[in-house]
Amino acid sequence: MAGSSFGNILRITTWGESHGTALGVVVDGCPAGLALEAEDIQAFLDRRKPGQTKISTPRKEADAVEILSGIFEGCTTGTPISMLVRNTSQHSADYSEIANCYRPGHADYTFDAKYGFRDYRGGGRSSGRETIGRVAAGAIASKLLRQFGIELTAYTKSIGPVSVDMSKFDRQAILTTPTCMPDTEASTRAETYLADCMRSYDSAGGVIECVIEGVPAGLGDPVFEKLDANLSKAVMSIGAVKAIEIGDGIEVAVRHGSENNDPFRIQNGHISKTTNHAGGILGGISDGASIILRAYVKPTPSIFSSQETVSRQGENINLSIKGRHDPIIVPRAVVVVESMAAVTIADALLMNASAKLDNLKKIYGR
């Protein structure tokens, strides 16, 4: 089954394995006329690059993007934008010993169960490097959305037990702290926590929040193409995400309706809500408030302490993973969550263009 595509009108197709020749994405359906250059993409890719700090893998990956099609004279042409990143820093030898065993928490066993065999080098297609294509696509979607005043901001909300204090929110810190936390104090504590994890050959999880501002009311479609349904699929399809919340999320289950409903009011001549428990989506359609979502990310499954598992041949064994692995996935996944959210919102923006006759009359002049 062709499972590597996402989106309806703006449709992305990613490809590539961790230790193959390259990884990439084809972005089809981007409207013509958007100014776009490699720097727009590279800025996003650089946010997920490893080897930058002591809490990420010491692998050095240039991850330089090459745009192969779809741009002419600095603008998108409406035709597919193909982008690739060469794999340059792969140490396949590191993985030879795991060719014949199933790492706990990884997709080794399930790929074998499905396909009969797998590209075991670095996780193959289930590697975190698969997200390179998503992020390259997200850069385009984000730039498209900015033309319409829509801005996305994703950041680390918590790492293990350390949560950011939102009253100290510092947007700049997202890009400058190694944790991608918008609170430098929390970030320092999180770094200490992660250093402890590494000393005990263990790993940690965390929470990523994404806020999308400037979304006009009316995006998303009823029933199955609800904006929250598509955001959930988009974010849950990122490896290691195990839960997704919209707005107040799990908290709503213990609320009363009188607490959870957001009152509408006329403010400055416009309809807006005085609270935003719903996270900007009602009935699957954006309501004009900021869209807010949170992704819960599991701890890196590759840990250096010894684990019980089985071999491909069906023997119980003990496994000690070697190689170079991040003790936490969260900071590098922040831009992935932002990218998937951007692709989803951009697709909804395009889909909404044909929602009513009035929109079409504006285009076709009747």
Site for a copy of itself in 279-318 (CB under 8 A): 279, 281-288, 296-303, 305, 307-310, 314-316
Least distance between a copy of itself and beta carbon 347 (Å):
10
Does 191 interact with a copy of itself (rule: CB under 8 A)?
A: no
Applying CB under 8 A, among 74, 114, 167, 171 the residue interacting with a copy of itself is: 114
CB nearer a copy of itself, residue 177 or residue 309: 309
Applying CB under 8 A, among 40, 46, 151, 221 the residue interacting with a copy of itself is: 221
Instruction: Decide: 208 and 156 in contact? Cβ < 8 Å.
Output: yes
Query: Which letter does DSSP use for residue 298 in this model?
Result: P
Closest CA to 335 of 59, 133, 90: 133
Does 232 interact with a copy of itself (rule: CB under 8 A)?
A: yes
Contacts of 118 (CB under 8 A, 6+ apart): 108, 111, 112, 124
Contacts of 8 (CB under 8 A, 6+ apart): 225, 347, 350, 351
Query: What is the chain's length?
Result: 366
Applying CB under 8 A, among 43, 225, 290, 324 the residue interacting with a copy of itself is: 225
Query: Which letter does DSSP use for residue 275 in this model?
Result: -
Instruction: Decide: 70 and 24 in contact? Cβ < 8 Å.
Output: no
Least distance between a copy of itself and beta carbon 21 (Å):
5
* Distance from the first to the final alpha carbon of the chain: 43
CB nearer a copy of itself, residue 177 or residue 352: 352
- Strand, helix or coil for residue 100: coil
- Taking residue 259's Cβ as centre, other Cβ atoms within 10 Å add up to 12
Does 345 interact with a copy of itself (rule: CB under 8 A)?
A: no
Does 147 interact with a copy of itself (rule: CB under 8 A)?
A: yes
Applying CB under 8 A, among 97, 170, 185, 248 the residue interacting with a copy of itself is: 248
Chain-centroid distance of CA 133 in Å reads: 11
Least distance between a copy of itself and beta carbon 335 (Å):
17
Site string for a copy of itself, 36-65 (x = CB under 8 A): ------------------------------
Stretch that binds a copy of itself, among 44-52, 165-173, 183-191, 250-258 (CB under 8 A): 250-258
Does 29 interact with a copy of itself (rule: CB under 8 A)?
A: yes
CB nearer a copy of itself, residue 11 or residue 59: 11
CB nearer a copy of itself, residue 165 or residue 251: 251
Does 109 interact with a copy of itself (rule: CB under 8 A)?
A: yes
Instruction: Decide: 301 and 309 in contact? Cβ < 8 Å.
Output: no
Instruction: Decide: 346 and 352 in contact? Cβ < 8 Å.
Output: no
Instruction: Decide: 46 and 38 in contact? Cβ < 8 Å.
Output: no
Applying CB under 8 A, among 65, 197, 341, 345 the residue interacting with a copy of itself is: 197
The whole-angstrom separation of Cα 98 and Cα 126 is 15
Interacting positions 70-99 with a copy of itself (CB under 8 A): 70, 72-73, 75, 77-82, 84
CB nearer a copy of itself, residue 147 or residue 176: 147
Instruction: Decide: 220 and 348 in contact? Cβ < 8 Å.
Output: yes
Applying CB under 8 A, among 116, 167, 172, 268 the residue interacting with a copy of itself is: 116
Angle at 65 (CA atoms; ends 64, 68), nearest 5 degrees = 145
Closest CA to 142 of 337, 351, 353: 337
At 282, the amino acid letter reads: L
